[in-house]
Structure 1
Amino acid sequence: MLFDTHTHLDSYKFDEDREEVIERARAAGVDLMINIGFDRETIPTTMALAEKYEFIYAAVGWHPVESIHMKPEDLEWIEGLCSHKKVVAIGEIGLDYHWDTSPKDVQQRVFREQIRLARKVGKPIVIHNRDAHEDILRILKEEKASEVGGVMHCFSGSLETAKQCLDMNFYISFGGPVTYKNAKVPKEVLAQVPLDRLLIETDSPYLTPHPYRGKRNETSYVALIAQAAAEIKGKTVEEIALITTSNGKKCFGIE
């Protein structure tokens, strides 16, 4: 049993063969998936997938890159969706200082608003963090995000950053980069993350793992992340699959 805790199966990159991609994932042993809706376009398509497939759950939120476009009614929309039985988290939310599409102050305001919403509705949060480690940690602390916890999605920070996230009730999730030969830091961090706080993901169609790097990623490749984690942790793939699936269910409140 494998759990891809972060995928974008509604992406246009799957428009030609979405059913086949999902079938390949199931054949590879992926029993659970969280699809991420992060703006006006992808929230409805994410909800449609979650309603169509029993094994797909939804996270809904507003991506930091899209912060500039978020209106008050969008936050109300997200809040309304949180009562849906298949919505298990608010995300992906956070900060992205790599792409210069939304001003930092706007990103931070939208991030804070969504953490407050998560605390209000009692949902965990899925964090997107790109080149913004200090501000992410500061805002999570200031907004008492530890009350709901959640996932540090496709973790790219240092071991010290990971420790601070663990202290705030977060799980640390690893994706394709942990399979790359030159990815020294993610491997070192994964080696130190406690097994009961470890998650795996694909972020498909992005961040494709070795040996498919450069091609479209897909959910079935979460098995490759499990394999890499097993090697780093000195466990079997089956053990990692069982542990990370159990962790994912606990994090997202899935029975």
Structure 2
Amino acid sequence: MTTVVDTHCHLADAKFRDDVEAVIARASGAGVAQIISVGAIGPIDSDRLTVEIAEHHRNVFAVVGVHPHDARDCTPERIAQLRGLAASKKVVAIGESGLDFHYMHSPPQAQEAALRAQLALATELDLPIVIHCRDAERRIVEIARETGIPPRGGVIHCFTGDTNAAREFLALGLCISFSGIITFKNSASVREAASIVPDDRVMVETDAPYLAPEPYRGVRNEPAYVTRTLEMLAKLRRVDAASLGTQVIANAARLFRLPPPANTPARPA
């Protein structure tokens, strides 16, 4: 069986409220060796539940932060709360932070301030940063050059740019993660970028419960479906899916300092 890591999903999302245990079990059965679950969306409760889920499952890890949609809520108090949650050994990164100039749910100035604050927090805690970018590639690169990427590095999650943007992010030392978008017919520029990312910088994710890959598009996404995205990514890169899955596991382990995957199915610890 091909194995891989789902490097970005949202297990604390309300869409998983009634069956998160079954979702984790299905992922394990599909060959998903580890899951990185991200809080960030909405109030701090999302981050707290994300950490709780990770602490109860040996192959699940947590990321805590403030999504750019909620950047107006990224106060010093919220940063202090994130600092406290990050004391858990299961927290492996800060994020997803970043900029979303497509939806603009928070003003650009608030988004930029939140990004800078979380870059600083990741540096302080010696953690990598998980970055959300939507129609804001140039500004993220500018801010990253001004402030610096945390020494532990980071990843652009759910990459939606083109090859030029990919090269800019790679020049910053970042990894690039691809979601089910690469299975969509209208994703030519993202697919092209997927072929030029170096082996040691490429990752794959679901962003579940969002962005289900074909043939599941339109239904709730879940970590088990990351294998579909892996298969497409392998095709675009002209490599074997099993080998790519092994590479993604190695890349995630390096960036997030993950332990070797357990050989047994993910289950409550």
Q: Report the TM-score when normalising by structure 1.
A: 0.97
- 1:52 maps to amino acid: H
SS at match of 1:73: helix
Matched, 1:64 2:68: yes
Aligned to 2:27: 25
Q: Distance in 2 between matches of 1:234 and 1:103?
A: 41
Q: Distance in 2 between matches of 1:19 and 1:254?
A: 21
Aligned to 1:227: 231
- 1:33 maps to amino acid: I
- 2:35 maps to amino acid: M
Please, which of 65, 74, 77 is the counterpart of residue 73 of structure 1?
A: 77
Q: Distance in 2 between matches of 1:101 and 1:28?
A: 35
Contact 1:152/1:171 (8 A) holds in 2: yes
Q: How many percent of aligned residue pairs carry the same amino acid? A: 39
Q: Distance in 2 between matches of 1:223 and 1:212?
A: 12
Q: Distance in 2 between matches of 1:187 and 1:146?
A: 28
Q: Distance in 1 between matches of 2:100 and 2:23?
A: 29
SS at match of 2:111: helix
Aligned to 1:34: 36
Matched, 1:201 2:180: no
Please, which of 75, 89, 98 is the counterpart of residue 93 of structure 2?
A: 89
Aligned to 2:159: 155
SS at match of 1:6: strand
Number of residue pairs matched?
255
* Displacement of 1:41: 2.4
Q: Distance in 1 between matches of 2:126 and 2:17?
A: 33
Q: Mean alpha-carbon deviation: is it higher for 215-224 or for 70-79?
A: 70-79
Q: Distance in 1 between matches of 2:103 and 2:197?
A: 29
SS at match of 2:133: strand
Q: Mean alpha-carbon deviation: is it higher for 99-108 or for 213-222?
A: 99-108
* Displacement of 1:88: 0.5
- 1:20 maps to amino acid: A
Higher normalized contact order (CA 8 Å, seq sep 6+, divided by chain length): 2
Contact 1:146/1:168 (8 A) holds in 2: no
- 2:74 maps to amino acid: M
Matched, 1:9 2:48: no
Q: Distance in 1 between matches of 2:102 and 2:240?
A: 36
Please, which of 169, 187, 194 is the counterpart of residue 190 of structure 1?
A: 194
Q: Distance in 2 between matches of 1:151 and 1:112?
A: 16
Contact 1:62/1:91 (8 A) holds in 2: yes
Matched, 1:179 2:218: no
Q: Distance in 2 between matches of 1:66 and 1:56?
A: 24
Please, which of 238, 244, 249 is the counterpart of residue 245 of structure 1?
A: 249
* Displacement of 1:235: 1.3
Contact 1:158/1:185 (8 A) holds in 2: yes
Aligned to 2:47: 43
Contact 1:146/1:170 (8 A) holds in 2: no
* Displacement of 1:202: 0.1
Moved over 6 A (4+): none
Q: Report the TM-score when normalising by structure 2.
A: 0.92
Please, which of 236, 241, 252 is the counterpart of residue 240 of structure 2?
A: 236
Root-mean-square deviation (Å): 1.1
* Displacement of 1:70: 2.3
* Displacement of 1:146: 5.5
